[in-house]
Structure 1
Amino acid sequence: MLRSLMIVSIVALAQTAAAQPCTLLMGYRTTDRLPYIAAAPDNTGLYLDLYTEASRRIGCQLKIIREPKNRVLDSLKIGRIDFYPGLIFSPERGKDFYFLPNGLPSQQVALTRSGLQALNSLQIMRGKTLIMAMGGAYKEAIQHGINVRTPPELTIEKAIEMIESSKADVYVDELSSLTYYLNHYPNRNKLMLHPNCCGGVQHFTMGISRQSSNTKYIPNPKFNPYHDVNAENDPLKLAPNSTMSRFSQAVWQLNKEGFTAKLYKKYYGIDMPTLDEHTPMQSE
């Protein structure tokens, strides 16, 4: 009788555990980046809609943790958080994070005060003060004689204030984010966008913790040891049966189904640039 009860209890516990959905932990800074995500503790936005659906597709639930960016990245390094949805590859970050497309397009553009010369390359920015979020994509900017600053917790609103007050000359950010903000900005005529400064459309990338319990890695058969390690040339790759790999596949499937394009249109009011397997990923 006792043995029967123990067997029943074990089976019940196993069924309960199996019924519990897996949890994916997404980390993000406390400040907003509309329309991707609102300011903490409000997590509404495109990221929430997209990644909640991708998580649901693989039987998981999404939980979002909001902390200062440095603290979030430290938590990612030790595996307390699974992924950061908008993170750009650098060799230093590549030691702790694995990079994959986050399902959204990226096109970096420059914002300046009106009346300046069109910025069609980094070289034209020589001698100017460039501000961008920590981990921005242009490490080579310094090599072109550009004064690069990365103010902590930099927002578009703060960047525009610095541009208008001449504390900085150029701000580099996503075309989609800047367009969204400027559409609601009363002094839009005082500012100028430079869409051809910084390359074309790329895959926006997410950084996945290499220590996450939802990851497993296998050797990457396409790794080229004679080329630099980057977002597309990593010695390892996610095992196809790992949770984060299945999550990434679900994100890509949502793109192919047009789900992501509809979200993009809803939040930005413009059509989403086309992304396919041949579109390059972001990297510094």
Structure 2
Amino acid sequence: MLIDLTGRTALVTGSTQGIGAAIAVGLARAGARVAINGRGRESVDAAVARLGREVPEAGFLPAPGDISTDEGAARVLDAVPHVDILVNNLGIFGARPALDIDDAEWRRYFEVNVLTAVRMTRGYLPGMRERAWGRVLNITSDSAIAIPAEMIHYGMSKTALLAVSRGFAKEAAGSGVTVNAVIAGPTHTGGIEDFVYELVDRALPWDRAQREFMRVYRPQSLIQRLIEPEEIAHMVVYLSSPFASATTGGALRVDGGYVDSILP
């Protein structure tokens, strides 16, 4: 399947590293011009330079701004006024006992993991509808469905993002714009190797170590390994393409079979 996004402009929030950077690279390789977002200008410029070396033919754009604030979101909207593809990837996570999560932390997770997506969708969806084409993709998590006891505030925010995705898909009905959620499973991102080696034998080579980690600590996974960020990017690139024009309002899983249910 040849996916050609030439002429399309994409914005990936939280894209200076990890899953967001992999998505940016995937969209750029398909021909899209991709705006890179992070809180600070320095980290964004460094990411644009690094990703430009990885995909020399790409047109990466800097779009710095803390989109968890109205002011930061306005900076991004000013830098990139019109996009065809919006990927709401920005998110935070962390473990904390349920009874130790105070009101401020609940609000912070909702603000960063949910309202940033609402804010950016509200900014870009009207233009997509006017042009009768667009893609909005919200990166959520298996934790939206299998709520982890050690971070229910994170799970709550990702469940809310599923509702936001479905709701905005209805708002975009019949317009040529699709809105979907992508459910990512346990992923090989920054810091995960140290985390894995805290739990399994450090003498094991990485491939065996991650499989042992998955077997013992994430036994629900059917692929029995961590997902690579590029594998999540593949789904995003497909959903961003004309081939996915009849897929909207969905929650599509790239979780390695982690969630033990048929739907979503």
Give the TM-score range, shorter chain: 0.3 to 0.5
TM-score, normalized by length of structure 1?
Answer: 0.31
TM-score, normalized by length of structure 2?
Answer: 0.33
